[in-house]
Structure 1
């Protein structure tokens, strides 16, 4: 895919997220997100890090987290949330919305996945709606489905995914799962909240895997 187009998508999502965060009340910043143990504030802090993380910082972080990637990401997000208030994080998100800098090892589409999925992580617990643009979400889902990083290959083994709002399908096997690309993306990134919008014989098995 064209990297300039991907970057334009990422910029638009980051600016949209900044607008979303700006609309929140003070108490909503401390509400739980869909990321276990993360507040909305923590997620906002995490979203400012993809253009600011260095290789040295990643190495130090993974050592401190004793090799646990998820723990490292959580620690970094909470540390940044403790150091910056909502207004500062919103300004930082806007400031680097169009930056092409990525965390070490990240592919061009990873920041788009991050923005789309974390947008749902913060909106859904608050009962707010964030639409996911179909073309961008299809690109993100295709990337996640083929990546070794997100665990989707193992999660979807023997499962065919079929989008109901786009011309997209992937995988093969007896367990078909159908639904909107946004819900499939949530499922692909390990979020059981995506299950509610899906149908098909594979849903029950995936529910057992994710819950």
Structure 2
């Protein structure tokens, strides 16, 4: 087991009653999707063609894939991914890009339509966070197929962080969401990224979370996420020592 997983909770806040905590990430998803939709809505279509932080992906590709990932039933998504993986010589990166471009190129995936879908998914997530029935449907987004686990949250958080960095948008991700996603990614990151963070703690300089054990590597929450997900080559830096 990675040393990172033995050092929870994510922050050094005093412990409190967490009996109401659940594995649902609907509230965080609603916040992230709402912020992303608000940031994207006023942008011209040309901005969507901007290259994202993910090699060969445009902003349009990132958002189209995010909408597909969160709104497609799990079985259908797995089948599509398996087919694409086989067609692309079992290159996971190529398979994901093919799916993203296919979705982005469909007639119902124009920038305004995708923003509308983000808003609809935000509304579903918010309603479910408030206890609404899973079958709630808004603008074609069915609550019973809407993905709301940590994997879906990770897709939303890194997608929003990537787009914000690519377009220079002032988009804030909730601390609980960014910390949970960073920890999850640190536990399953590729070897080259684990080689950098192994034996260290990671700390966000602009959020109340940290995890790990050992000398502290720090950066902003967005910078840590971009590095952990391979969207940036800039590694977190050692915390300055105080004299």
Task: Determine if the TM-score, normalized by the shorter chain, exceeds 0.5.
Answer: yes
| Structure-2 residue corresponding to 1:96 | 121
Could you say if the C-alpha distance between residues 138 and 194 of structure 1 is closer, same or farther in structure 2, counting changes exceeding 3 Å? farther
Q: Which TM-score applies when normalising by structure 2?
A: 0.69
- Tell me, which stretches of 5 or more residues in structure 1 are unaligned? 202-211
| Structure-2 residue corresponding to 1:44 | 63
Higher relative contact order (CA 8 A, sep 6+): 2
| Structure-2 residue corresponding to 1:114 | 155
| Structure-2 residue corresponding to 1:142 | 183
Distance in 2 (alpha carbons) for counterparts of 1:171 and 1:24: 39
Counterpart check, 1:55 vs 2:78? yes
| Structure-2 residue corresponding to 1:170 | 211
Tell me, yes or no, if the aligned pair for 1:146 and 1:152 is still in contact at 8 Å.
no
Aligned partner of residue 130 in structure 1, secondary structure: coil
Counterpart check, 1:74 vs 2:97? yes
Counterpart check, 1:20 vs 2:1? no
Q: Which TM-score applies when normalising by structure 1?
A: 0.78
Could you say if the C-alpha distance between residues 134 and 127 of structure 1 is closer, same or farther in structure 2, counting changes exceeding 3 Å? same
Could you say if the C-alpha distance between residues 148 and 28 of structure 1 is closer, same or farther in structure 2, counting changes exceeding 3 Å? closer
Following TM superposition, by how much is the alpha carbon of 1:101 offset from its aligned partner in structure 2, in angstroms?
4.0
Question: Which deviates more, 108-117 or 161-170?
Answer: 161-170
Tell me, yes or no, if the aligned pair for 2:203 and 2:209 is still in contact at 8 Å.
yes
Counterpart check, 1:30 vs 2:49? yes
Counterpart check, 1:85 vs 2:110? yes
Distance in 2 (alpha carbons) for counterparts of 1:100 and 1:70: 28
Distance in 1 (alpha carbons) for counterparts of 2:164 and 2:156: 12
Aligned partner of residue 47 in structure 1, secondary structure: helix
Tell me, yes or no, if the aligned pair for 2:162 and 2:231 is still in contact at 8 Å.
no
Distance in 1 (alpha carbons) for counterparts of 2:227 and 2:180: 15
Distance in 1 (alpha carbons) for counterparts of 2:155 and 2:189: 16
Following TM superposition, by how much is the alpha carbon of 1:194 offset from its aligned partner in structure 2, in angstroms?
5.5
Following TM superposition, by how much is the alpha carbon of 1:89 offset from its aligned partner in structure 2, in angstroms?
1.6
- Tell me, which stretches of 5 or more residues in structure 2 are unaligned? 1-20, 126-142
Could you say if the C-alpha distance between residues 149 and 166 of structure 1 is closer, same or farther in structure 2, counting changes exceeding 3 Å? same
Distance in 2 (alpha carbons) for counterparts of 1:46 and 1:18: 15
After superposition, the CA RMSD in angstroms is: 2.8
What count of residue pairs does the alignment treat as equivalent?
195
Larger radius of gyration: 2
Tell me, yes or no, if the aligned pair for 1:150 and 1:188 is still in contact at 8 Å.
no
Higher helix share: 1
